[in-house]
Structure 1
Amino acid sequence: MTVLVEMGWGGLVQLPSTITWTDISQYFDGIVKGAVITRGAADELSETQPGTATLTLDNEDGRFTPGNSSSPYYPYVRKNAPIRISKAVIPTRSGSAPYPLAMLGDDFDDNRISSTLWPNSYGGASETGGRMRVPVNVGTTAGYQSAREWTFTASKLTAKLVTLPTANGSSSGSASMWVNSTTSGTRIGWSYNPVSGNLSAANQVGFSDGGATVLPYNAIDYVWLRVRESGGTVYWESSGDGASWTVRRSLATPAWVGSQTQAVEFAATRTGGTADHIEWDLVGADVRPRFYGMVNEFPIEWEGLTSTVTISCTDLFKRLNRLPVLKSMLAEEILHQDVAGVTDFVSAYYPLTEPAGSTAAGDLSGRGSGALAVTQVSAGGTLEFGTDGLADTGDTAATFTPASGSAGKYLTGDLGAQFAADSTTYWQTTEFWIKTTTVSRAILGMFDGGLDHQIVYALNASGVLTIEHTDGGGTLTVFTSGGASLTDGAWHHIVHDGYPTKQLYVDGVASSFTSSVVDMTGLRTMHIGGYRGARLFNGQIAHVAVTSVSGTIGATISPSHYQAATTGFSGEDADVRMARLARYAGIPSVTILGATHDAIASQGPGGTGVVPRMREVESTESGKLYAERDFYGLAYQSRDLRYNPDPSSEVFTIDYADLEPGTGYADDDQKLVNAVEASRPGGATQRVTAPASVLAFGEYPQQLNLIKTSDNSVLDAAYWLVSRYASPAPEMREVVIEAYTMSNYLDILDADISSYFTVTSMPSQAPASSVRATVEGYSETLKERSHVIQFRTSASATDSVWVLGDTTYGVLDSTTRLAY
């Protein structure tokens, strides 16, 4: 067993593709202090907390001292550096030969080649620095080689590729891991070419494979390599962490695999040049990730002349909790739109939500577009910020009230060099919201410095939208949309797709109008509320955005942005809302677990952080939200994931005698709830009680404020809470296990939030001979040859629901709780 501690020096935790992991396990104090990791919630009624990890590193040479220029990690020893912690479990050989290949395991930590595992090693191969080292010599072959005592069928060979050889002037070379048949040159495995820098997934016969899959090596995706046989197919797989694998090649299992006993060989050689070596580690390891996050600080401590660093780390909730408050859902949709298969980014975004008294409107795109200043034309008229805007967004808008079409105020400004470059390289998709009763006015326009390229969005004498343009200067060509009048005093949303079809969308729906508007380039100036001092707009304008695109996006963003502003996506399912909020936070992945997802009400207005909004969804749905422990992502569980656990879904079972001190039953009023008052935005306030429980224990009230879309859903949620906690049964809340000593160690490591396990052979004084518990969270201490896990648990029966006619879940007056 090895504790793997890896740092992503110079990478960004929110951009996993930037992280090349460095193994610092040799500096980790795994003997005395170990790593302490905490994850999950205290109980099922509490929110999951940010996951944390604490560990001590040897800093004798100053490598973990921030700002130390002599550190091999300089200048990246700094706060928020990515970190991940895993357990690599080395298999042990048992029984008699031939052994399954998955039993071949070596961590190379004793600095001597095992004569039992590698009796045929040759050519100067050694065990150095806790790794297998194979020389890549000139003209000769070196290698680690096992005895012929392994079987590949339904088994696997895994290794971590630690140090790569270089070309060093060679004309050819290879460093490989092979499963060898009894026929020389017939073998399956991975081979690295130090001259080309390619990996080859090979099934060789006569030392060659014309159909090998050749892959350019990179230090992110190919840290771990594996060959595996299963069900008549051989798979070549790679992994960045040793836990999540990607298939790189597969083919039907050759006949020799099932008919022979195999040997394993790690071999290397080169032609010409200068010798060096390849290093492998953790052969056969089963890796279980325990923590993924970032380091909070690197505090240096001294005890005499001995220097250590005890670092504290937090999972991605640290980053989420420090993000700025969200803007309205419309603004977030504009800023975080992501259309599959299309390059799209906002080049200019003027929400026009400045407070009253402002004299300019600012850009929120972050691309450097300049502010638009209030500009006076002739005399009279007003331009007011902070006036009522789109109702469901909570945003204000800009109101333009000119004295006439040629006297008043509008907005003008320089979009900047970056916008001009974007408009030259990409097409532009333009969108905005208007509210007016006045015809024959310009809404907004853009042009280049020489007026060769101009585009203007306006209303004609009938109130119909027009698009005016030129790419050669002179008189503008006018295209009339042919749609309905937009001067009815209501808000309207306009999207003009920049893709060559130039599709127009009004209020979330594609119009029958597709223009032949020419492509714009070099656009530099924007006018809003008029164009070049004329046709001054009379009404309100909001959320003007220009998106640079490589393809069409209108069909995606038009209905989405329209719904964001008019309904706040009220009615969408909880899992969809959770993924939407994650996108606003820049989280690339949300793992959705479970199938019951109710409709969620609007969270349209801004002003709160992304985590509080996610927690609103979580509590409304009685779900569970937490950070993944093996990558940068979130997981969200719906409540039905816990309904009626199937015994086959148990992660492990354990005898009570194998538990550590600290395990016991609790029977108190900590979770008792027998009176619930529940409400929703714009809905009824309703009360549910359990009279028998109130009589027996007194009233234990709780308030529920849920973002449901119906009063019936609110009532269901209230009944669900009361039915589970009006009279909680005795339960086991803490289970402590020295997992390392257990034969089912890997199964125990697989337990996570909402996993089930059973404790058997309970003492005679216990309410039952066995008890099934649900994991709510855990604290663990990882050391070499020790792994103590303290599970925080709840009674699985709390989430049982009625199943008609079922012998377990259909018992009258016992298991007749209706599902919610």
Structure 2
Amino acid sequence: MPVLVEMGWGGLVQYPWSITWTDITDRVDQVQGVTITRGASDELSETQPGTATLTLDNQDGSLTPGNPNSPFYPYVRKNAPIRVSIAHYPARTGAAPYPVAMLTDEFDDQRMTATLWTSAGGATETAEGRLRLPATAGVTARYTSLRQWTLAGSQVAVKLVAVPAAGGSSSAYTSLSLVSSTSGTRLRWYFNAVTRDLRAVSDVGGSDGAAVILPYDPIGHAWLRIRETAGTVVWETSSDGWDWVIRRSLSTPAWIGTDQILVELAASRTGGTSDYAEWDYLGAQVRPRFWGMVNEFPVEWEGLTSSVSISATDLFKRLNRLPPLRSMLGMEVLTVDTLTGAYSFPAAYFPLSEPSDSTSAGDVIGRGAGALAVSQTGVGGTLTFGDVGVPETDETAPTFTPASATAGPYLIGDLGPQTAADSTTWLVHLQVWIKTSTAGRAILGMHDTRLDNQLILSLNGSGVLQVETTQDGAALTVGTTTSGNLANGQWHHIVFDGSSKIAYVDGAPVSGTLLATSSQDLQTVYVGGYRNARLFNGQIAHVSMHLANGPVGSVYAASYGAITGFSGESADWRVERLARYAGLPSVTLLGSTHDPIASQGPGGSGVVARLREVEATESGRLYAERDYYGLAYQSRDLRFNPDIVGEVFALAYADLEPGLELADDDQKLVNEIEASRPGGATQTLSAPESILAFGTYPQQLNILKLTDVAVTDAAYWKVLRYANPEPEIREVPIEAYTLPEYLSILDADISSYFTVYDLPAQALATEMRVTVEGYTETIRENSHVITFRTSTSSQDSVWVIGDPVYGVLGITSRLAY
């Protein structure tokens, strides 16, 4: 059974590292199979959300949503995490001794394979397709292989499905052992049920004084492997059988090169309550195919039978549901804490972007902070919401216009008891944007209910930033910075780091003696003045309070770049920034050509739309990972010159399924482009010879380049590639399961290359190299049909001076962009 289907019952896709996966492969309808679609239709189309469809047996009702008798209740629900993999078992070939990687067993036929194993202690194979080893007092249950295997240059991998409990015993364990012909000499993965640890062991004489001991993690240690390579033995663990972490390594013991080993899976205990260990997928070579979320669990009945035909979608489903982004400035406030390296979080954030008829301003964090209400002291003055705010944002900002320093409106609010309590434990950090021409005023301030602890940001009479504090109810201590005059009518970003006692202005630290080290029970907050005095005259925006256990101000200070929309940062940085806004834990960046990106303007669009803008600007490729909840982004140079980069596999035409076609049409033809950028020129570029031959095929290109020259380069790149597209193979159907190249075929992903050779005599060449744009695959019992959607690789050939293949400009290659 090549397919491995697992459900993350109760798991949250945004926290993939915490998901406990349940194997439901035995429920999969192998006749209908699992169908997965991934990638794009061609290189000019955007990649689409990946999907998977499969039918599951529901005879016992376990997959009926809301069924309280289901062992998975109440987690049979929409958006449940799902992953699909291939568990490939290499064939045993040649004569003994065999590489131990050829020792494979799915344990799914409910009987021991006598040509592989001997057994003892009641070891059995279960109806669910696992090896069960009873952990019974005084009895060692084991599956022991024949002594006909070698570890040198090979490996053994297995899934540890269930471990025994201590059960009142002084000793209980389960283990995987590779046993030398010398008594007491072996390599082991050993789980100790009493101490709940996992040990990487190299025994000599029955013991190992240098064993590596890991606290057992049933998620991270689900798969175990021992591998020898180039003179080193490594012990590895994995959560999915694909992505391995080295836990121990040592120089290969001499016996590895000489001894034939036996492999043993065992479990036992000295006393206490009996239970068992379970192992599975011995020798499986795992290849991930899909990672996503189930859309629904529609229960179907036919007579007395029941099934569930589910569909699932990769992470783009979740990304497409996210609300429109705030401005980059706002998103930085909400997400930058993930970059600090400390434990930090926003406790309150007041964008102050309410419409003009507002009389209060709200918090968007939701930790209990109340609204900031307009408060009047003295007579006169105005406070107007809805005025133009910080550049490159769509948020407005209020304008404070007091009649004097002691007469006019300002804002006051309650941060709430939770934030007050947290400020006792964590250090306070502040961010705020200001614009004023009046010195000697307070920007914002906070205090506890007794005024023992106070913290105020203000400008002195020269417009220089001050930090005023007290922690014992005594007079305020004033720390003056070297910020220079901030009352100059320009927007300024101010950060106060309560840990390092450093202030940052417009992205840079400013020196000064700032005495605040902690501020307890801060609950009342003022914006635009402090306690009926020093009323601010100007604009204040994006007030936020963060709590952290260390210095984080330098990270917050980098948010100053939002005033230009981070214009000029490279495309890879922009992709990582946008992924952070979406709450993604990781982005895989591939390739090395990442040009500067212009500002994407204020908020209002979704994160996927923003990512697509970068992708289109850079002629890159954006898609969801198939083994993890993460994004991958490829720069255009990843595809340059496939002869230099290399290919994943090559197949003869005779090994393909029927349906190979050669296309030569005008589907991709582009010979005139009107190109532009925000704030730049509109330019038209064309290929006259193509227009003469085929007529005009126009296209508009509006991209986020910084210069008109960069726009020209991007437009020329497209015209040179598609003024006269070459004949190409657009689909390659393969029955992969039966081919020796099976694993290599599974390794092919978006932008991989492969060659079809020994083409029929009517073809224009004996072989053609293609680039993978996407694929649809159907996995059944002993069958795996993959139809790759492809483009011709030569479209991405670029000029290399003196190269025998790519050194002929305009014929075999074109200028790189």
TM (norm. structure 2) is 0.98
Aligned pairs for 1:14-29 (under 5 A) are 14-29=14-29
Contact 2:150 2:256 in 1 (8 A): yes
TM-fit CA distance, 1:413: 0.8
Counterpart of 1:490? 490
Counterpart of 1:704? 701
**In the aligned structure 1, how far is the partner of 2:339 from the partner of 2:49?**
31
Of 216-225 and 474-483, the range deviating more from structure 2 = 474-483
TM-fit CA distance, 1:25: 0.8
**In the aligned structure 1, how far is the partner of 2:424 from the partner of 2:589?**
40
Of 466-475 and 720-729, the range deviating more from structure 2 = 466-475
TM-fit CA distance, 1:402: 1.1
Counterpart of 2:747? 750
- Whether 2:764 is the aligned partner of 1:764: answer no
- Whether 2:10 is the aligned partner of 1:13: answer no
Counterpart of 2:59? 60
Q: Secondary structure at the match of 2:72?
A: coil
Candidates 546, 560, 573, aligned match of 1:562: 560
Letter in 2 for 1:153: A
TM-fit CA distance, 1:189: 1.7
Counterpart of 2:126? 128
**In the aligned structure 2, how far is the partner of 1:105 from the partner of 1:543?**
60
**In the aligned structure 1, how far is the partner of 2:659 from the partner of 2:16?**
39
Per-residue deviation, residues 17-37 of structure 1 (Å, max 9, x unmatched): 32100111111112x111110
**In the aligned structure 2, how far is the partner of 1:812 from the partner of 1:346?**
55
**In the aligned structure 2, how far is the partner of 1:604 from the partner of 1:545?**
22
Counterpart of 2:579? 582
Contact 2:29 2:54 in 1 (8 A): yes
Counterpart of 1:229? 228
Letter in 2 for 1:657: A
TM-fit CA distance, 1:175: 1.4
Counterpart of 2:509? 510
Letter in 2 for 1:10: G
TM-fit CA distance, 1:553: 1.1
**In the aligned structure 1, how far is the partner of 2:644 from the partner of 2:265?**
42
Counterpart of 1:284? 283
Per-residue deviation, residues 738-763 of structure 1 (Å, max 9, x unmatched): 11111111111001000001111100
Q: Secondary structure at the match of 2:108?
A: coil
Contact 1:100 1:151 in 2 (8 A): yes
**In the aligned structure 1, how far is the partner of 2:167 from the partner of 2:467?**
63
Candidates 675, 685, 705, aligned match of 1:688: 685
Contact 2:99 2:149 in 1 (8 A): yes
**In the aligned structure 1, how far is the partner of 2:631 from the partner of 2:271?**
50
Contact 2:9 2:20 in 1 (8 A): yes
- Whether 2:674 is the aligned partner of 1:677: answer yes
**In the aligned structure 1, how far is the partner of 2:411 from the partner of 2:698?**
55
TM-fit CA distance, 1:152: 0.5
TM-fit CA distance, 1:679: 0.3
Q: Secondary structure at the match of 2:65?
A: coil
**In the aligned structure 2, how far is the partner of 1:483 from the partner of 1:278?**
65
Counterpart of 1:39? 38
Counterpart of 1:371? 371
TM-fit CA distance, 1:455: 1.5
Contact 1:85 1:292 in 2 (8 A): yes
Letter in 1 for 2:556: I
Per-residue deviation, residues 779-806 of structure 1 (Å, max 9, x unmatched): 0001111110010000000100111111
- For structure 1, the 5+ residue unaligned runs are none
TM-fit CA distance, 1:169: 2.3
**In the aligned structure 2, how far is the partner of 1:812 from the partner of 1:607?**
44
Of 180-189 and 786-795, the range deviating more from structure 2 = 180-189
Structure 1 ranges of 4+ moved more than 4 A: none
**In the aligned structure 2, how far is the partner of 1:427 from the partner of 1:648?**
51
TM-fit CA distance, 1:344: 1.0
TM-fit CA distance, 1:713: 0.7
- Whether 2:217 is the aligned partner of 1:218: answer yes
Counterpart of 1:524? 523
Change (3 A) 1:153 1:340: farther
Letter in 2 for 1:3: V
Counterpart of 2:481? 481
Contact 2:809 2:815 in 1 (8 A): no
**In the aligned structure 1, how far is the partner of 2:813 from the partner of 2:133?**
65
Aligned pairs for 1:20-419 (under 5 A) are 20-30=20-30, 32-118=31-117, 120-129=118-127, 130-337=129-336, 338-419=338-419
**In the aligned structure 1, how far is the partner of 2:324 from the partner of 2:477?**
44
Of 307-316 and 502-511, the range deviating more from structure 2 = 502-511
TM-fit CA distance, 1:482: 4.2
Letter in 2 for 1:602: S
Letter in 2 for 1:374: V
Letter in 2 for 1:222: H
Letter in 2 for 1:503: I
Per-residue deviation, residues 77-113 of structure 1 (Å, max 9, x unmatched): 1111100000100121110011111111111221111
TM-fit CA distance, 1:466: 2.1
Contact 1:571 1:709 in 2 (8 A): yes
Contact 2:480 2:513 in 1 (8 A): no
Candidates 631, 640, 656, aligned match of 1:634: 631
**In the aligned structure 2, how far is the partner of 1:218 from the partner of 1:508?**
42
Counterpart of 1:445? 445
Letter in 2 for 1:5: V
TM-fit CA distance, 1:237: 0.4
TM-fit CA distance, 1:174: 2.2
**In the aligned structure 2, how far is the partner of 1:381 from the partner of 1:170?**
78
Q: Secondary structure at the match of 2:339?
A: coil
Contact 1:504 1:514 in 2 (8 A): no
**In the aligned structure 2, how far is the partner of 1:463 from the partner of 1:804?**
59
Contact 1:242 1:286 in 2 (8 A): yes
**In the aligned structure 2, how far is the partner of 1:612 from the partner of 1:47?**
11
**In the aligned structure 2, how far is the partner of 1:266 from the partner of 1:646?**
46
Letter in 2 for 1:799: D
Letter in 2 for 1:797: S
Counterpart of 2:662? 665
**In the aligned structure 1, how far is the partner of 2:224 from the partner of 2:723?**
53
Contact 2:367 2:419 in 1 (8 A): yes
Q: Secondary structure at the match of 2:392?
A: helix
Q: How many percent identity over aligned positions?
A: 63
Counterpart of 1:717? 714
Contact 1:775 1:792 in 2 (8 A): yes
Counterpart of 1:537? 536
TM-fit CA distance, 1:122: 2.3
TM-fit CA distance, 1:561: 1.3
Counterpart of 1:599? 596
Contact 1:426 1:549 in 2 (8 A): yes
TM-fit CA distance, 1:480: 2.5
Candidates 787, 792, 802, aligned match of 1:805: 802
TM-fit CA distance, 1:601: 0.2
Of 637-646 and 470-479, the range deviating more from structure 2 = 470-479
TM (norm. structure 1) is 0.98
Of 710-719 and 488-497, the range deviating more from structure 2 = 488-497
TM-fit CA distance, 1:409: 0.8
**In the aligned structure 2, how far is the partner of 1:276 from the partner of 1:317?**
43
Contact 2:170 2:270 in 1 (8 A): yes
**In the aligned structure 2, how far is the partner of 1:443 from the partner of 1:648?**
57
**In the aligned structure 1, how far is the partner of 2:273 from the partner of 2:496?**
62
**In the aligned structure 1, how far is the partner of 2:367 from the partner of 2:643?**
53
How many residue pairs get matched?
815
Per-residue deviation, residues 388-419 of structure 1 (Å, max 9, x unmatched): 11122232111001122222111011110111
Q: Secondary structure at the match of 1:514?
A: coil
Contact 2:479 2:512 in 1 (8 A): no
TM-fit CA distance, 1:518: 4.6
Of 476-485 and 605-614, the range deviating more from structure 2 = 476-485
TM-fit CA distance, 1:190: 0.6
- For structure 2, the 5+ residue unaligned runs are none
- Whether 2:470 is the aligned partner of 1:470: answer yes
**In the aligned structure 1, how far is the partner of 2:361 from the partner of 2:513?**
31
